[in-house]
A and B are shown apart, each in its own frame.
Chain A
Amino acid sequence: MVQERVMEKLAILADATKYDVSCSSGQSTRKNKNKGLGDTGGGICHAFTEDGRCVSLLKILLTNHCIFDCAYCVSRKSNDIKRVAFTVQEVVDLTIGFYRRNYIEGLFLSSGIFDNADYTMERLVRIVKKLRLEENFNGYIHLKAIPGASEELLKEAGLYADRLSVNVEMPTEQSLKLLAPDKNHKDVIKPMEYLKNEIIDYQEEKKSNYKTPLFAPAGQSTQMVIGATKENDMEILGMANYFYEQMKMRRVYYSGYVPISHDNRLPAIGTPVPMIRENRLYQADWLIRYYGFNVNEIVGFDQPNLDLDIDPKLGWALRNLHQFPVDINTADLELIQRIPGIGFLSAKKIVRRKKFQKITARRFKEIRNCLQPIEVFLGFFFAFLYAKRPNFCSNKKSDFEFAKQ
């Protein structure tokens, strides 16, 4: 590698992907066979940026050349920036060099579109193939499927990558038309549909024939830009719900729009990034995926946006006060999960524990370690407990009662 050139490319092409929020590296089942390099399992965050996000994958663009002119994108054609591109070999060397040093769990590869969709997709596929076949690499690979790429290339990508994703970018077709005139909603939905069917087919086949190769074992995901256009949270979550139910997506990511251009279709530069809103959307997303909430319970026509001041679960509880207080000793898992402040893991612990003993405030504290903010939603009320023990919620090592030998 020509070192200085690669250093510069990495700075530019890593910088361009930092608003792509996908970073997960679990949910795959690729194992190290025949003494190769790497395996994929639980997913490990190897580092954390100074803004607190985790770094588990080498997240880069293959190139920031692009034939499209999407208003919200740094790499858009009309933007006056330095254009660079990695060679296939450079991406392979970077990935392997980083992986062997235990810096990363794998590769997240996206790209601007040069020439046409298939030309770009073909290069991405060449990189994954080289990693898997020549380098015997079993780490995690997340590949962006380029909208409009042919089905043969998508299929090949699925055979070598762990996860594929096509970004829908905008929650509605109208906004996509407005901000990305070259892009077509159909071009995004079509590959998603194709991948969904292939993934299901391969999974079915695997059941009867264990030798069936893996096909995108970590499924597919997508991303939406939030706050660039006028959609409300109901439309956004409705779209997300469509992806989870109809496209069998594993994840939908929400990316708060960071103003980057003086385009009058977009929020002006200096408009704050909707960070809280992004956070609330993720919370709502989790409620739908893990807590058995229906989208309509979180946002509805009477209240199309999430409350920014309180989290969506608390918001739901306040709108449904008739359900509270809940007696956790008689409630079932479904309802316990809905109590604000109790996560699905604690809820499971509570249900397991209930088989053995009645759950009192003290035992509840052992499970959750803190019950102050949510006591009003629970069947028991132990105000005096706090009065006696002001440090009830602290979780410091010094609280270990090792000293009481």
Chain B
Amino acid sequence: MTQIVYDGSYEGWLTAVFEIYEYKLKGIVFAKEEISNTLLFSNSHFVTTNGEKANRVLNDLQQRLSHHGFNNIYFAFLSELEKIEEILFRFVEYAFASPINIEGDLSRIEVSNVKKAAHLTGKESHRMKAFVRFKLTKDNLYYAIVDPDCDVLPIIEQHFKNRYSDQRWLIYDSKRKYGIYYDLENVSTVEMQFESNASSSFLAEINDENEEFFQNLWRNYFCSVNIESRKNTKLHIKHMPKRYWKNLTEKIPNLNKR
């Protein structure tokens, strides 16, 4: 039993893959940042993230997989499912061992699990493109708070950059405590503490004077387009799962409504 301790980043994981081969490690278990206590009697191998090693793994994978299959590994990694590192390692191991492209071999659990995990991330990233709700502050920043199950910010960044290239925006992941910020030129990753449950008076203070009006307009519009007699809550929740509601303007009742 060997416990691989890495920093939790994609690059770190790739370095770990390299070192598993380099040191011929067997019986792999991954752990993020600190040694897990559940495995008392195991060896630990500490991985220092190394760009060169990571790139060698990436290059090798790129040659063995299609563009789509190559991306799927990254997507699956971002799904943050339990034990995803091991699942991915099995996939990579299989890819390296086989002389041909193995992506289509869905009868193998190594392949189908990765595909399923990548699908989860893909689905959630699509939802996040839809469910980000920007609010405008007094100093012209559009900010939004999200908390997705999968770590999707890195893959939705380009979408928002293309779409909102003439406004400054920030999308903050309150679960992972980091955000992506666009300053009209580039998108950068920012780490910060953001009070998502700040008081309404505080929010009114930092928000643009028209912000509340637009939120109310949107709520108003959302109610107006509903056809009461066709109410279908099950379908509604299927499309807009409840876990997203706390960040959706139209699902937050208007507190100041007279």
Q: Is A338 at the interface (CB under 8 A from chain B)?
A: no
Least CB distance, A332 to chain B, in whole angstroms? 21
Contacts of A366 in B (CB 8 A): 106-107, 112
Q: Is A273 at the interface (CB under 8 A from chain B)?
A: yes
Contacts of A39 in B (CB 8 A): 162-163
Bin chain A's interface residue count: 35 or more
Q: Which residue of A lies closest to B90 (CB)?
A: A405
Q: Could you tell me if B235 and A52 are in contact, using CB atoms closer than 8 angstroms?
A: yes
Contacts of A38 in B (CB 8 A): 163-164
Least CB distance, B138 to chain A, in whole angstroms? 15
Please report the C-alpha to C-alpha distance between residue A212 and residue B218 in the assembled complex, in whole angstroms.
Answer: 37
Q: Mark B223-238, 1 if CB is under 8 A from A, else 0.
A: 1111111111101101
Q: Is A250 at the interface (CB under 8 A from chain B)?
A: no
Q: Could you tell me if B144 and A102 are in contact, using CB atoms closer than 8 angstroms?
A: yes
Please report the C-alpha to C-alpha distance between residue A47 and residue B251 in the assembled complex, in whole angstroms.
Answer: 10
Q: Could you tell me if A36 and B225 are in contact, using CB atoms closer than 8 angstroms?
A: no
List residues of B (78-133) whose CB comes within 8 Å of A's CBs.
Answer: 81-83, 86-87, 104, 106-107, 109, 112-113, 116, 126, 129-133
Least CB distance, B98 to chain A, in whole angstroms? 14
Contacts of B133 in A (CB 8 A): 101-103
Given A97-B210, A102-B134, A136–B218 Cβ distance below 8 Å? no
Contacts of A273 in B (CB 8 A): 229-230
Contacts of B162 in A (CB 8 A): 32, 39
Q: Is B7 at the interface (CB under 8 A from chain A)?
A: no
Across the A-B interface, give the 10 residue pairs with the lowest CB-CB distance, nearest first.
Answer: A52-B235, A51-B230, A48-B239, A14-B224, A52-B232, A101-B134, A49-B226, A35-B165, A15-B224, A44-B130
Q: Could you tell me if B135 and A18 are in contact, using CB atoms closer than 8 angstroms?
A: no
Contacts of A36 in B (CB 8 A): 165-166
Given A37-B167, A97-B210, A402-B87, A47–B248 Cβ distance below 8 Å? yes
Q: Could you tell me if B226 and A356 are in contact, using CB atoms closer than 8 angstroms?
A: no
Which of B109, B221, B225, B236 lies in contact with A401, CB distance below 8 A?
B109
Given A10-B224, A136-B166, A101–B136 Cβ distance below 8 Å? yes
Given A10-B224, A37-B166, A275-B230, A47–B240 Cβ distance below 8 Å? yes
Among A53-61, A189-197, A315-323, the stretch in contact with B: A53-61
Please report the C-alpha to C-alpha distance between residue A242 and residue B83 in the assembled complex, in whole angstroms.
Answer: 55
Given A39-B163, A47-B240, A48-B239, A14–B142 Cβ distance below 8 Å? no
Which of A3, A32, A353, A400 lies in contact with B165, CB distance below 8 A?
A32
How many residues of B are counted as interface, with CB atoms below 8 angstroms from the partner's CB atoms?
58
Q: Is B216 at the interface (CB under 8 A from chain A)?
A: yes
Least CB distance, B28 to chain A, in whole angstroms? 11
List residues of B (19-70) whose CB comes within 8 Å of A's CBs.
Answer: none
Contacts of B107 in A (CB 8 A): 363, 366
Interface centre among A37, A45, A47, A48 (most CB of B within 10 A): A47
Q: Is B213 at the interface (CB under 8 A from chain A)?
A: yes
Q: Could you tell me if B227 and A10 are in contact, using CB atoms closer than 8 angstroms?
A: no
Interface centre among B228, B233, B235 (most CB of A within 10 A): B235
Contacts of B87 in A (CB 8 A): 402
Q: Could you tell me if A48 and B221 are in contact, using CB atoms closer than 8 angstroms?
A: no
Q: Could you tell me if A37 and B130 are in contact, using CB atoms closer than 8 angstroms?
A: no
Given A37-B166, A98-B218, A18–B227 Cβ distance below 8 Å? yes
